Amino acid sequence: MFLLVSAAQAVTFRASIDESKWVLESSKFECKLSQQIPAFGIGEFLHEAGVEPLFTLKPTQRLAIKRNATLVVEASPWQPGVATSVIGPLEAGRVLKTNAAYAGQMLVSLYKGMSPTFTVDRWMNSDDQLRVALSAANFKAAYKDYISCVAGLLPANYRQVARTAVLFPPAAWTLSDATRERLELIAFYVQEDKSVTAIYIDGHSDSGGRRLLNRDLSKQRAEEVTRYLISLGVEESMVTTRYHGERYPVVPNTSKTNRARNRRVTIRLDRE
């Protein structure tokens, strides 16, 4: 429902206790907890694997929020006498998005039975203030399931592992501890995400030394990465291994720092 409060010149959208439903969509890639706000849109907490949770307020009408908003925490109807507190400002946009800190404060307030509320000076083209509130009714049970979902998330998401470059010292192809740790994360992710169908491994060198030796060195680096991924359980048929010597520097080989960046193996994942 929505309430029109003439005395305060405010239009308030909030689900009633009977209407308040929290819906969880869960997977090992993301946990999404949302509430439909009648006549306005939807509010959604999203915790994606490998990143902090965020909250997005999505109006049904494209121009429903045209001005910057303030996020506050108000008492629910069953909490008389509890003071309102301010979380902070938000920039206007097609949707309102919070950072992780705001989202965390919203979750805490909902668990305490309070109502996170977005306030905007004007609603659309009117002179009325806009207030959009989340209802804490029926939240706790959904939150317990949400926390269980978060506990089962993968340690990283696809964007975080889809493109990787690991670096090597001069004239070396042995994998460092940091490189092994990164490859272990990639291998774990690939085995969990069945949409990943191919892995492309490309070895490179700097321009120090003879061109043929650099080509061989880039080959050894690429093959060492490939061997380690396969030893971790990655299917060999998924992997394409290539080597390029000094032909494709990412930066000119004009300094020690630049040469270090060019001594690399890149790992690229492809999805179907």
Q: Which top CATH class is 158-271?
A: alpha beta
In this structure, the number of other CB atoms found within 10 A of the CB of residue 21 comes to 14
Name the pTM for this structure: 0.86
Percent share of the chain, pLDDT over 70 = 94
Q: What is the mean pLDDT of the chain?
A: 93
- Which pLDDT band holds residue 63 (cuts at 50, 70, 90)? low
| Predicted pLDDT at 94 | 84
Is the model more confident about 189 or about 272?
A: 189
Domain at 2-151: CATH architecture: Sandwich (2.60)
Nearest to 142 by CA among 229, 21, 12: 21
Per-domain boundaries in the chain: 2-151, 158-271
The answer, yes or no, to whether residue 5 has pLDDT greater than 70, is: no
